[in-house]
Amino acid sequence: MAMRRFYDQPVFRNPWADFEKMRREFDTLFRNLGSEVERGGGTVFPALNVSEDEHNIYVRAEVPGVAAADLEVAVEGDTLTIKGERRRFEVGEAGKVACHRREIDSGRFSRALSLPTRVDTEQVTATGKNGILLITLPKAEEVKPRRIAIKAE
């Protein structure tokens, strides 16, 4: 079924997404020529994927190594905030341990996201699984699509 939407572009869509995609394509193209791939400046932790279906908005955040107790999710109006802290990996006594590689970052993080539609703040749920936090935000009744029955005369 072909469908035409007048507002196919979400309100808060990242305007640089297409450029970033293009840059990635160029990176893979130039990597073979031996040039060092520049690692672009990241966004604020955690990285988010946002999607929606008819009833809900889904926000997925990549938070490996963060325990559920160290995470804080809040919804206020149409703003979603994710706060937390990732703790450093401690092993054994200090001084007796040699550190060979330290690629995993730690520290506090907080991030706010404005939601594209109004949500039912009472019904928001958040679950953590395998280091991915899934926040399900049910859309408010007034923005849900309503089926209109056609009466035949």
Contact call for residue 4 and another protein (CB under 8 A): no
Interacting span for another protein (CB under 8 A) from 11-19, 72-80, 118-126, 144-152 = 11-19
User: Residue 60 or residue 121: which is nearer to another protein going by CB?
Assistant: 60
Return all residues near 48 (Cβ < 8 A) that are at least 6 apart: 59, 60, 61, 111, 113
- Is there binding between residue 127 and another protein (CB under 8 A)? no
Site residues for another protein, 23-52, by CB under 8 A, read 31, 39-52
User: What DSSP line would sit under 13-28, residue for residue?
Assistant: --TTHHHHHHHHHHHH
Q: How far apart are CA 30 and CA 73, in angstroms?
A: 40
- The CA angle 10-57-143, to the nearest 5 degrees, is 75
Residues that bind another protein in the complex, under the rule CB under 8 A: 10, 12-14, 17, 31, 39-53, 57-58, 60, 62-67, 86, 89, 91-92, 96-110, 116, 128-132, 134
